[in-house]
Structure 1
Amino acid sequence: MGIYEFKMLSEREQYNTVFTNGQFVDTVSEGNIKYKLYTLSYFWVEVQYHNNKIMRISSFVEGEKLNRYSNFPDKI
Structure 2
Amino acid sequence: METAIKQIKKELKIKSQGELAKELEISKATLNLLIKNKYPNPSKVLAKIKTKLKPQIIGVETKTTSLDELIKEIEEL
Higher-strand-fraction structure = 1
Asked which structure has the greater CA Rg, the reply is 2
Query: Under a length normalisation based on structure 1, what TM-score does the superposition of the two structures give?
Result: 0.31
Greater RCO, CA 8 A, separation 6+: 2
| TM-score, L = length of structure 2 | 0.30
